[in-house]
Chain A
C-alpha cells in the first residue's frame, strides 16, 4: 500500500459521514420515489396463479371457471393483511368498487362451512369483464401508467396511449400553472430584491444591519406563521382593506385573498430573502470605485449602472432567481391558505396522492415529472450562466 493511496483512503474516511448522509437522505429517497412511480408488484405478488390463467383470456368475454378458481385459490393463500391492502388499493385505483368487492369476497372465502362455489355467487360484479381487466392490467411488475397519468395520458383497452378526458385529469394545467406562478414570484422578487440589495450594499453601519435584519428576521419565522399573518392582512375585513377604506381610497373591499394576487404577494414576501441575500453577497464584492470611475469617464448614472453594475451583479440575480424559482414550484401551504381553487399548485395534488389516498405510485410519478422539469430548467440556467460575464 503506497503512501499516496493511504492518504486517499484517509480522506475518503473523512468524507464517509458526508457520503453516507448524501446516500441515505438524498440519493436513496430519490431512487425510491422514482421506483415507486414505475414499479407495480402489489397484484402480481399475491395472484401468481391468476396471472397464468389470465394470460390466455381475450380481455373482453365474461370470466371463465378456471379464472375464478385461480383467483379464489390465490386469495385463500393470502395471509398478509398489509400486502392484501396494497393490492386492493392498487385495483381500486384502477377500477372503483374493488374495495367493497374484495372485502366481501375475502370474508366469504373465509367461510369454511359452506364455501362458495364460484366468485359470481359471492358478488354479481365478478361477472363484469372490467373488474377482470383491471386485474389483468396490473400483472406486470413495471408500469408506465402513473407516469402517463401524471401528464394526463392513459392507455385504452387496446393498449395505445391516448389523452385522458378533461374532466378526469388536469395535471398538465396545474403543472403549467405551477411554473407560471413560480415565474411571476421570481420576477416580483427580482424587481423588489435587486434595488433593495443595491441600497443595502451601498449603506454602512447600523443602516445596513437594519436593512439586512429586515430581510433575515422573516426568514427565522415559521412559514406557516408568515402565511397566516398575510391571511389576516389580506382578508376582506383585514388590515389592508380597512385602512384603504378608512382613507376613502376605495369603497368596496379589494379582492386580495383566495386569488392569484394574494398568492403572489404572500409568496413574494416569503421568498424575498432568497433573492436579496445572493445579490447582496455579489454586490459587496464589487469594488466601490467602479461607479465613480465610470462617472469620471463620462458615463451618466443610468449608463454606468447598465454597463458596469448590472453585468457584474447579474450572477447574483441569476442564482437568486434560481433559488426562488425552485423553492416556489414546491409551494403548498401558501397557495392552500391564501389561494383560491384556481391557484392550487402541483404539490397539493402530490399531497393528496401521498397522504389522502396512499397512492404513492402517482405521488412518485408527479414528483418525477416535477424533478425532470426542474432539472431541464437548471441545465438551461447552467448553460446561460457559464457564458455570463461575471464568471470570466
Chain B
C-alpha cells in the first residue's frame, strides 16, 4: 500500500511541478508598468503602442501605486511577471542597493550625457521630472492659495483639503506652512524637534484633511467639489485641464519635485526587450511628445529643448517654476520612511 501511495504522491507532485515549470516557458508579452490614470493613457499612445508596432510584438501595460515590497516580492519569487517598471526615486535607490534591478545598458540609451544628471543611475533611466504641488479649481476659487501657509488657512479658504496619505511630502509641506524656509527644510526635518513640529502643524489641519492614495483620487475630489484644494501630481492637473476642459491651477512655489525612473526587474523574462523599450522612450523625438498630454519635465536634454513654449511653461523644469520649488531628499526618505510611516500611522489613528 505504501508503494502505491508513494508513487501516487510522486506522480501528483510531478504533475504539479511540470505544470509549474511549463507555465513560464510560454512566452510572456513585454509587460510595462506605470502609474495609471491619464499619465499612463498618454504613455500608451506615445510609447507603448508605437513600440509594439516597431518591434512587432505585443506590449502589455499595467498600473501600480508604488511600494518597494511589491517589487521585492516579485523578484524574490523568481521569474517576475513585470519587465519594465516606472519607479519613484526611493524605490530606485532601495531596489538598486538590494539587487532587485538589472543594470542599465547606457550605450543602448545613447550615453549618460544625453540625460540630466539626476536622471542617471546604474539601475534606472529617468523618465520624468514631476512635482507634487497645491492644486485648486480656478472656477470655484477666483483668488487661490499661493503657499502652504494658505493651504493651512481654513478661515481665508474654507473647505476640506486633501493630501497623499503617508509622511513623505506631508511632513515637508507642514514645515513649509509653519514658516520653515526651503533651504533649511530637510535640516529641520532631520531632527526630532523638526518632526515634532511638523506633526504639531498637521494637528491644526487634521480634521479638515481627506487623504488620497492613488494619483487619480485628488482630481476626483477637486472635480466633485469634495475638497477646496489638494496636493496633486502636477502633470495630471494639466492633463485633465486639456482633456476635460477644467480650470484647475497648479501652485509651483513650495512644490517638491523628484525624478521617476524606468527600471528593469532582475531576471525578468523580457529584460532585453525592456531595455530596448526604455531606449525607445528616451528617444528625444518620442519623449518630446509627452508634455502635450501631461506636463512632466523631460530628463533627456534634447527632448526638453524640443518642447513648444506653450507646453514648456507648465513643466516643473521650467525655470520660472523651478525657482521656488524643492528637490525631494531621497536619502532622507530611504533612511526614515519606515519609522516615520509608523509614527504617521499612529498619529493618524489617534
* A residues whose Cβ falls under 8 Å from a Cβ of B: 1, 5-6, 8-10, 12-13, 16-17, 20, 24, 80-82, 84-86, 88-89, 92-93, 96-100, 102-103, 166-170, 173-174, 177, 235-238, 257-258, 336, 340-342, 344, 349, 352-360
Contacts and interface: CB of A to CB of B under 8 A. Distances in A.
Contacts of A6: 1, 4
A383 B43 CA distance: 58
A86 B100 CA distance: 11
B16 A20 contact: yes
| Contact count band on B | 35 or more
B210 A167 contact: no
B13 interface: yes
A356 B349 contact: no
Interface of B: 1-2, 4-5, 8-9, 12-13, 16, 67-70, 72-73, 75-76, 94, 97-100, 165, 199, 206, 209-211, 213, 224-226, 331, 334-339, 341-343, 345-350
A9 B76 contact: no
A96 B338 contact: yes
A237 B349 contact: no
B335 A82 contact: no
Given A9-B4, A84-B98, A177-B349, 16 more contacts: A9-B2, A17-B12, A84-B97, A85-B99, A88-B98, A99-B94, A100-B334, A100-B335, A166-B346, A169-B346, A170-B345, A235-B226, A258-B210, A336-B213, A342-B349, A358-B68
Of A81, A257, A358, chain B has the most CB atoms within 10 Å of the CB of A358
Nearest to A10: B4
Nearest to A174: B349
Contacts of A97: 335-336
A81 B345 CA distance: 31
Given A81-B98, A167-B343, A344 B336 contact: no
B348 A12 contact: no
Contacts of A1: 1
Given A9-B4, A16-B9, A170 B338 contact: no
B3 to A, nearest CB: 9
Contacts of B349: 170, 173-174, 177, 341-342, 344
B80 to A, nearest CB: 13
Given A82-B99, A168-B346, A237 B224 contact: yes
B76 A16 contact: no
B8 A357 contact: no
A86 B338 CA distance: 14
B335 A359 contact: no
Nearest to B95: A85
Contacts of B97: 81, 84-85, 88, 99, 102-103
Contacts of B1: 1, 5-6, 8-9
B338 A357 contact: yes
B69 A354 contact: yes
Contact of B226 (A85, A99, A236): A236
Contact of A356 (B4, B341, B346): B341
A8 B5 CA distance: 9
Contacts of A336: 213
A86 B224 CA distance: 44
Nearest to A357: B338
A99 B8 contact: no
B86 to A, nearest CB: 16
Contacts of A84: 97-99
4 residue pairs, one from A and one from B, having the closest CB atoms: A85-B98, A81-B99, A355-B67, A358-B69
Contacts of B338: 92-93, 96, 357, 359
A20 B100 contact: no
A358 to B, nearest CB: 4
A199 B226 CA distance: 39
A6 B3 CA distance: 10
Contacts of B348: 341-342, 344
A13 B5 contact: yes
Given A9-B8, A10-B4, A96 B341 contact: no
Contacts of B206: 341
Of B67, B199, B209, B347, chain A has the most CB atoms within 10 Å of the CB of B67
Contact of A169 (B73, B98, B331, B342): B342
Given A16-B12, A24-B16, A81-B98, A168 B67 contact: no
Contact of B343 (A168, A236, A355): A168
A356 B98 contact: no
Nearest to A356: B67
A353 B68 CA distance: 10
Contact of B341 (A10, A16, A173, A357): A357
Nearest to A103: B97
B231 to A, nearest CB: 16
5 contacts: A85-B99, A96-B338, A170-B350, A341-B206, A359-B338
A61 to B, nearest CB: 24
A354 B337 CA distance: 14
B12 A20 contact: yes
Given A13-B8, A96-B338, A355 B13 contact: no
B346 A237 contact: no
B68 A170 contact: no
A390 to B, nearest CB: 39
Nearest to B337: A357
Contacts of B98: 81-82, 84-86, 88-89
A352 B343 CA distance: 13
A60 to B, nearest CB: 21
B149 to A, nearest CB: 23
